[in-house]
Structure 1
Amino acid sequence: MAKTQHQQGLPKFSGALDKFKYEETTPEIGREYPNVNIVDDLLNAENADEILRDVAITISQRGVVFFRAQNNLTNELQMEFVNRLGRSVGKPESSSVHIFPLAPAHVPEGGTGDRHISYVNSTAFKYMFEKMPNMDKRRFDAAEWHTDIQFEPVPADYTSLRVHKLPESGGDTLWASGYELYNRLSKPYQDFVDGLTVTCRADCVLMAMQRKGEQIEEGERGSPLNVGRSLTAVHPVVRTNPVTGWKSIYSVGQFSKRINEVNQYESDELLKKFYGMIQDNHDLQVRFRWRNPNDIAIWDNRSTFHRATFDYLNLGERAGNRAVGIGEAPYFDPNSKSRAEALGVKKAEETTKMASGGHMAHGHHMATGHHATNGHHASNGHHMVH
C-alpha cells in the first residue's frame, strides 16, 4: 500500500481561475462559483487544459466545488468534464468513467439508459433497496456517510452530480472533509492508523441484486482492474491524495467492513469512531441546497465523504444524473503529511522568510496554494472574492 508518487509541496495553479468570482462555503470544505458556466467558460475555453487542471486542484484542496444552473451541460459533456478533470492531474490512462455494477432490468422513468450515467432519484433508490434486512423506515431519511464505489479496486476520483428535478423543499446533500477528520486525531493516534488497511465490500448492492434478480456487470467498470462479481477490495485506512499529497481518513461508511490488522472488536470500535467524529463535528461538514435545476457538485472521493437527505416525502421528486470518474488504486505514502502539517510547514517557511527581511515574490502561492485575484497575494492565502 505504501507508495511515493504524490507531488512534492503544494500543486501550482496557472492562475486561469483568477478571473472568476467565488466564495468559500465553509472554512474547512466547499467552494461555490456562482457565475461560471462549465461548458462555455471551462470546457470550451482557449486555455481549457490549464483551467481544468486548476479546477481539479481546487476540488482536491477544497473537497467539493459547486456550480449553479448548468443548463447547457449534457450527459455527454458531464462525463467528459469529470474524465478530463482526472486526466488533467495525471490519473492512469487505463482509467475512465465508472459503470455502476448493477445492470437493472428496466430503466426508470427519466433515466438515461447510458451505463456511465447513474440516474439518482428516490424512486430508483427505493426500488433497489427497500425491504432489505435492517432497512427500517428511518434509513430512508438520510443515506449513510460514504465515498463512492469504495468497493472497487480502483475507485472514484472525481464525482459530478447534476440535480435537474427538485422538490419544493429538502433533498440537501452534505459533504465532510477526510483531511480534517485525520487532522483531529492526536499524533499518537495518527501514527497508529497510518498504514492500516480496510476491507471494503458492497453488501447492499449484492443483496439488492439477489432480491431483484438484477445482473452484475462483470466486465471492465472504468478500469481493467474493476471486474468480476465480488465487489470487494482492500484499501488503506489513511489514504494519500495524489493531487495534494495530504493524508485523509478513507475508511468511513457502508462499504468499509473490517480493518484487517486488528481484531473484529477493535475494528468495529475504529470504524464507529471515524463515523462518529463526522457526526459530532459539524464544522468539518458542508450542507448544500440545490436551488436551481441543473445545479452541479463535483467532489474528490479520495478525501471527502457525502450523504443525501431524504426529507422531501410528498414535496415532489428529486432526481439527478451522476458521472463518476475512476482514478488510481488507493495508496498510503508514509512520507505524506496531514493538511494541517503541510500548510503549517509552508506558513512557517514564509514567516521566517518575511521576518528575515525577504519579500514574497509575485506569482508564487501562499500556504493554501490559492491565488489572489489581482495576481498578488492575499494574507490568508485564499483568492480575494470579486
Structure 2
Amino acid sequence: MADVRSTLEAYKHISPDSGHPIIIHPKFNPKINNWNPPDPVREEVQPPKDRALFADPEKKALFSVAKRIDLTESIGTLLENVQLSQLNEQQLDELALLVSERGVVYFRDQDLTTDTQVKLFEHYGILDKHPAQKEVRHVTIKGSNSDYRRDSVYTPWPQAGWHADTSFEINPPSYSMLRMEEHPEVGGDTAWVSQYGLFDALSSTYQKLFESLHAIHTSRLQYDTILDLWGVGPNRPPIDTHHPAVITHPVTGLKAFNVNEGFVTGFAELKKAESDKLLEFANFHIHSADDHLVRWKWAVGSVAMWDNRAVIHRVIPGKYKAGSRRGVRTTVFGEKPYFDPKSESRDAREERLAEENQNGNGVHAEAHTNGNGVKPTNGANGATEPNGVDIPGRKGSDVSGN
C-alpha cells in the first residue's frame, strides 16, 4: 500500500544527513503557490429561520414514533425504531430541536440514499459547500489510516484535531448529517464533545475571560494541507474570521465554548505569547473533557446529525484498510455567530430552574422568564436573534442531559 505522505512536496526533498523529508514553507511549495481557486471568498448570507424554532418543545410527534436513549448525561442521544425517510415536517423540526439540545443524535439501519438525504436536509436550510467539495449537494467523507502524528511534522493543519465543520466561514454550518455507506468492522469511530459542557467546566474567571475575546478561525492551514497532502484544489481562497470565543446558541439561548484546535490559531485581543498560552490551555481543556464526550461506533446505514454550534468532533485515527470507510455528509448554513452577555450557561439554567421550582413549582419563574423557564435572549443587534425572529421559550427544554 502506498504511503499517503509520499504525495507531500517535502518527500521530494530528502535530507542527505537524516534521511527524512525537509519541511517546505508554503510560500515555496509549488502545489500551493500555483493553485488559483475558481470561486471567490464568501460573503455573509442570511439563512432562513432555524427549523428548531418551529418545534414543539416536548417533541411529542417525534417521540411518538421513536424510542429515545440518551448515551451520556451531557451529550448524545440514540433514536431507535424510526426511519428518517418517514419523518414529516413537524417531526423533522422536533429532531432539530433535540439535536440543538443534545448536540448529536444517532440512528441505525437507515434506508436513506444520497438523493433522499439531500432532500431531507434541504428542509433545514440552504445547503453549504465545503471548500474541498466537488459535488454540489454533499461532500464525501473518507477515513485515513495514515499516521497523523507523523503527518503533522510536514503539514500545518491538525487533521485529527477537534473541530466544528468549517468554523472559519462567516456563516459556519448549523446542522450537519453524516450517513455511512462503507465502514470497517473495527476502527473509524467519531467522537463529539459538548460545547455547552466545555463552557460549564471552566471556572467563572476563565468564563469571563473567554467571553471577552474573539477567536481567530482560519482556513489557511487546511487549505495548504488539502493541496499538498490530498492533492485536491480548494474551491475558495483561504480566509480568517474573528468569531466570539463564547457564543449564544440561537435556539437554546445557552452559552457555548467556540474554540477548537482544528481551525482556531489564537485570540484577536491578545499578544502573541498570551494568545499561544491561552490556546494551549483551551486545547488541553477540550482533550480532558471526558465527562462531556460521546464516541460513536459506525456501521453501514448509520446516521449522525449534529449541531456545529453546540459540539465539536473528530474522527478517531486507526489502522483499518484504506478505502474501507466512506460516508456522505450534508450541511446547511447557520447564522453569523454572536454572543449575548444576557444569555446563561447550561449549569446556570439548571440551577435557576431548580430554585424556581422550589419557590412554587415555577410560579416565580413567570416574573422574568415568561413562565417557560427560558429567559429571552438577544441577538447580535438587540431584542431578536440574528434572523430577526424572537426566540420562543421552551418549557421542558432538554439541555440538561437527563
TM-score, with structure 1 as normaliser: 0.74
Matched, 1:322 2:361: no
AA aligned opposite 1:98? D
Change (3 A) 1:135 1:285: farther
User: Are 1:195 and 1:332, in contact at CA under 8 Å, matched by a contact in 2?
Assistant: no
Distance in 1, matches of 2:401 and 2:290, equals 22
**Partner residue of 1:144 out of 157, 161, 169:** 161
Superposed CA offset, 1:167-200 (max 9, x none): 1211111000110110011112211211310111
Distance in 2, matches of 1:11 and 1:230, equals 40
Q: What is aligned with 1:76?
A: 115
Matched, 1:18 2:25: no
Shift of 1:382: 7.8
Shift of 1:273: 1.4
User: Are 1:370 and 1:382, in contact at CA under 8 Å, matched by a contact in 2?
Assistant: no
Max radius of gyration: which structure?
2
Q: What is aligned with 1:121?
A: 142
Distance in 2, matches of 1:355 and 1:77, equals 43
Q: What is aligned with 2:273?
A: 265
Shift of 1:366: 8.0
Shift of 1:349: 1.3
SS of structure 2 residue aligned to 1:102: coil
In structure 1, runs of 5+ residues without a counterpart are 88-95, 104-112, 219-228, 358-363, 373-379
AA aligned opposite 1:134? V
AA aligned opposite 1:36? V
Matched, 1:285 2:293: yes
User: Are 1:238 and 1:250, in contact at CA under 8 Å, matched by a contact in 2?
Assistant: yes
Q: What is aligned with 1:173?
A: 190
SS of structure 2 residue aligned to 1:16: helix
**Partner residue of 1:217 out of 215, 235, 239:** 235
Shift of 1:21: 0.9
Shift of 1:275: 1.6
Distance in 1, matches of 2:136 and 2:195, equals 29
**Partner residue of 1:54 out of 79, 94, 99:** 94
Matched, 1:335 2:365: no
Superposed CA offset, 1:122-145 (max 9, x none): 36x96xx99966258xx77xx111
Distance in 2, matches of 1:340 and 1:332, equals 17
Q: What is aligned with 1:100?
A: 130
SS of structure 2 residue aligned to 1:200: strand
SS of structure 2 residue aligned to 1:22: strand
Distance in 2, matches of 1:371 and 1:207, equals 42
Shift of 1:213: 6.3
**Partner residue of 1:192 out of 209, 213, 216:** 209
Distance in 2, matches of 1:157 and 1:192, equals 25
Matched, 1:160 2:160: no
SS of structure 2 residue aligned to 1:82: helix
Change (3 A) 1:207 1:184: same
Q: What is aligned with 1:349?
A: 356
Shift of 1:98: 1.3
> Pairwise CA RMSD of aligned residues?
3.4
User: Are 1:132 and 1:208, in contact at CA under 8 Å, matched by a contact in 2?
Assistant: no
User: Are 1:176 and 1:304, in contact at CA under 8 Å, matched by a contact in 2?
Assistant: yes
User: Are 1:15 and 1:371, in contact at CA under 8 Å, matched by a contact in 2?
Assistant: no
Identify which of structures 1 and 2 has the higher relative contact order when contacts are C-alpha pairs closer than 8 Å and 6+ apart.
1
TM-score, with structure 2 as normaliser: 0.72
AA aligned opposite 2:192? W
User: Are 1:18 and 1:371, in contact at CA under 8 Å, matched by a contact in 2?
Assistant: no
Superposed CA offset, 1:205-259 (max 9, x none): 32135436644324xxxxxxxxxx1332111100111010000111112210120
Distance in 2, matches of 1:206 and 1:381, equals 37
Change (3 A) 1:356 1:326: closer
Shift of 1:354: 3.4
Distance in 2, matches of 1:242 and 1:314, equals 41
Change (3 A) 1:18 1:257: same
Shift of 1:272: 1.7
In structure 2, runs of 5+ residues without a counterpart are 1-48, 365-370, 375-393
AA aligned opposite 1:120? I
Matched, 1:253 2:253: no
AA aligned opposite 2:61? A
AA aligned opposite 1:203? R
Distance in 2, matches of 1:156 and 1:303, equals 11
Matched, 1:134 2:153: yes
The alignment of Structure 1 onto Structure 2 pairs a total of residues equal to 323
Superposed CA offset, 1:110-160 (max 9, x none): xxx62331111136x96xx99966258xx77xx111110011111110111
Change (3 A) 1:313 1:35: same
